[in-house]
Structures are given as structure tokens and as C-alpha cells.
């Protein structure tokens, strides 16, 4: 029996690249019945798109999302890797809505959904450098797949090269912190209660407080390294992570209401 999900948030699927975990995403989507889907950018990786590479597993994800859009609202928020779609937004085709950002009121709280590349200096000032970084990242993921194939067959646990790089490089850690703090500061200034991003491939739910106020920051992660999604069910947000063995797990659960208005922080 499928689980009912009031709002599903996915980002950074990067369909059309070797690193996309499309099969695992399809397995996950088969287990849930969402009432609304928010695709928060970098769904189809137009930057890295090659006519010679778009596997059936990637097409299955698109077909499943379009099938959902025939029944429920599906918002496609543009990201940097699918920025070519921005020339067409806003646009509506039935229940499918293409936008650059999304404002919603949920349970009386104001939400700001957007991908987050607007904060990336490399995107604004040196796009060629950002694209080079995307190509290098894709190559790293492809090498990682080969290594993990060997590890699994020798009975050893999988490993993530990109996670280790991010965790070991202080500048990468600082970038993530700066991104989250910047998103929060702008959201507070604009009067939002929640800000929901993608882009940095770092699943997160935490309260951020500044001298000017407080906001709840959330990031849905990605379907390359973390295989994560945000789920809103019965007034609560959860960070879903898809296990390597195909078993689902809820890594964090966060009540929005009544008793959870204190300084709650979930890593």
C-alpha cells in the first residue's frame, strides 16, 4: 500500500547524467502517493545532456512525473542546469506549472521555494567555470560508480568520493554554511517562515536565527549522492533518505506547529 504524502519536494535529479540514481528514484516514487509535487531545480541536466545518453531508467522518471501531473499539481522550479527552461517560465500546462520560484502558504505559514543558484558567485560571474565544475563532478561520479561496483562485489561497503571531498575541504564546508545563512537572511527580510532550496546537494532541516528574526531552512538534497527528499505529512516535515539496499528510512522528522516553535535544529 502506498504511503500518502501531502507535499513531496525533490531537487537535483540531474537526469541525463551518469550520476543520476534514476532507478532508485523510480523505486521510491512507486511507494508513495503525493498530493502535490515540487521539483526544485536541476531535474533534467541540460548542461551535460547528450543525445547518446538518456537511459530508459531516466525516461521512466519523467513518465512517472508526467503521470502525476495528470492528476495533481506539479511545480517545476528551474535551476541552473535546466536554466534553458527559464525563457519559458512562467508557464502552465494542465497541472504542470513551470516557475522560477514558488510562494506557498501551508498551515498558515509562508514558504519560499527556489533552487538557490542565484547565490552562487561562479554562476553569476563565470558560468564557463561552473559548467567545467559540473563536468568534473560528473566524471568523479562515473569513476565512483566503477569503484563501488568493485567494493560491492568484494563484500565491502560503498563509498562516496564527492562526500569525502566536501567534508575534507574547508572551503566547501564554508560555502554550504554561507549558502544556508544567505538564504535564511533574505527569507527573514522578506517575511517568510520557511525557505526551501536545492542546488548544493546537501539535505538539511534547521532553524536559523539572526538579529532580525528566525526562519526554518530546508534543503531536499539530491538523487546522486544522498537520494533524499522532503515529505510533508500530517503537519510535519520529514527528510526521507533511500537506503543503498533499497530500504527507505526517515532520517529526521520535524513538527511545524504548536509545540515545535523553539530553537529546533536537525542536522
**Averaged pLDDT, 101-130:** 76
Average of per-residue pLDDT values in the chain:
81
Going by C-beta distance under 8 Å and a sequence separation of 6 or more, which residues neighbour residue 135? 48
Among candidate residues 210, 136, 208, the one with its CA nearest the CA of residue 176: 208
pTM of the model: 0.78
Highest average pLDDT, of 71-85, 130-144, 232-246, comes from 71-85
Distance CA 219, CA 152 (A): 29
What percent of the chain is modeled with pLDDT above 90? 57
End-to-end CA distance of the chain: 30
The count of domains in the chain is 1
Query: Residue 225 maps to which CATH number?
Result: 3.60.21.10
Structural domain range at position 85:
3-266
Amino acid at each position: 500500500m502506498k504511503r500518502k504524502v501531502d507535499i513531496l519536494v525533490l531537487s537535483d535529479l540531474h537526469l541525463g547524467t551518469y550520476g543520476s540514481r534514476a532507478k532508485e528514484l523510480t523505486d521510491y516514487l512507486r511507494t508513495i502517493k503525493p498530493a502535490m509535487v515540487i521539483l526544485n531545480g536541476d531535474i533534467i541536466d541540460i548542461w551535460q545532456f547528450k543525445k547518446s545518453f538518456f537511459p530508459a531508467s531516466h525516461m521512466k522518471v519523467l513518465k512517472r512525473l508526467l503521470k502525476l501531473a495528470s492528476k495533481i499539481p506539479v511545480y517545476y522550479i528551474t535551476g541552473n542546469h535546466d536554466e534553458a527552461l527559464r525563457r519559458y517560465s512562467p508557464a502552465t500546462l494542465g497541472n504542470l506549472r513551470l516557475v522560477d520560484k514558488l510562494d506557498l502558504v501551508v498551515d498558515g505559514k509562508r514558504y519560499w521555494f527556489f533552487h538557490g543558484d542565484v547565490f552562487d558567485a561562479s554562476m553569476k560571474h563565470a558560468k564557463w567555470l561552473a559548467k567545467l565544475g559540473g563536468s568534473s563532478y560528473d566524471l568523479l561520479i562515473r569513476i565512483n560508480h566503477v569503484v563501488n561496483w568493485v567494493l560491492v562485489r568484494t563484500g565491502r561497503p560503498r563509498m562516496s568520493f564527492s562526500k569525502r571531498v566536501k567534508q575534507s575541504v574547508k572551503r566547501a564546508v564554508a560555502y554550504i554554511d554561507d549558502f544556508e545563512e544567505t538564504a535564511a537572511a533574505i527569507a527573514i527580510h522578506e517575511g517568510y517562515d520557511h525557505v526551501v532550496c536545492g542546488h548544493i546537494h546537501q539535505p538539511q532541516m534547521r532553524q536559523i536565527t539572526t538579529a532580525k528574526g528566525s526562519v526554518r531552512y530546508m534543503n531536499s538534497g539530491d538523487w546522486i549522492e544522498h537520494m533524499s527528499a522532503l515529505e510533508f505529512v500530517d503537519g510535519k516535515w520529514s527528510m526521507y533518505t533511500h537506503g543503498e539496499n533499497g530500504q527507505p528510512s526517515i532520517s529526521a522528522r520535524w513538527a511545524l506547529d504548536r509545540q515545535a516553535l523553539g530553537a529546533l535544529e536537525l542536522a
